[in-house]
Amino acid sequence: MITLLCFGTAFAGSENIDFSFAGNGTSSSGGYWSWSGGSTTLFSSFDSSASLNSSPISGETVDVTSGAGTGGSGTTSDPFTFGPSAAGSISIDGCVAIGATTVCGILFTGQFQSGEAAVNGSGPSVDFTGTTVTGTLNSALATALGLSSDSVSGSLASNFFGSISSSGGSGLTGSGDLALVGSTGTVPEPTSLLLLGSGLLGFAGFFRKRRS
């Protein structure tokens, strides 16, 4: 007799989540960035356009705040560094439609463990990156995206234009991309894998016996 074992545990999968955003506004509307250079905090707010996996986000506000500076000269080969600090944060809010579901409110909030800013001479511009981003999606948004958890991780890349030098700057335009990955399943426990393997071996033995 063969006992057929059924397992509800699914193998792990992942889903790419891409927030893209741009700012082209005024300091009164929130579309601006500022940074005094060196060890000071870099702050940016994007309010011109944003999307999630190419789906437009309406009423968007994307805020990025670095932690305190920790060194560097601001060149591309020796960028200013920030963090790690709890102050290195990202928040995105607005309304987005994913399939038949529309989610409004805070869509994502998180932190990056380290950041870098370098003044690029062509433009000029400031290239700002945030690595090891960890955060939380709106739970309804995570469900709409088919995720098994609202916890996600990834990296940030952004670019600012304005009045810029190695000692800092400010401006009204910029753009960025927050690339995240979320989980769509869970990994079976070792015991489940062992039982599954035992069941398969049982099937193999059963069919060998029938053939003989």
Domain that includes residue 85, residue range: 14-185
Q: Is residue 209 assigned to a domain?
A: no
Of 198 and 144, which is predicted with more confidence?
144
Token reading at 54: 């190419």
Q: Is residue 141 assigned to a domain?
A: yes
What pLDDT was estimated at residue 29?
62
> What is the per-residue pLDDT across 43-91, written as a single tens digit (0 to 9) for each?
888 888 899 999 999 999 999 888 877 888 777 888 888 876 666 889 9
> What is the per-residue pLDDT across 174-189, written as a single tens digit (0 to 9) for each?
899 999 999 997 555 5
| pTM, full prediction | 0.77
For range 22-27, the mean pLDDT: 73
Q: Is residue 203 assigned to a domain?
A: no
Q: Is residue 207 assigned to a domain?
A: no
Question: How many domains are contained in the chain?
Answer: 1
> What is the per-residue pLDDT across 138-156, written as a single tens digit (0 to 9) for each?
999 999 999 999 999 999 9
Q: Is residue 195 assigned to a domain?
A: no
- What is the Cα gyration radius of the chain? 23
Q: Is residue 153 assigned to a domain?
A: yes
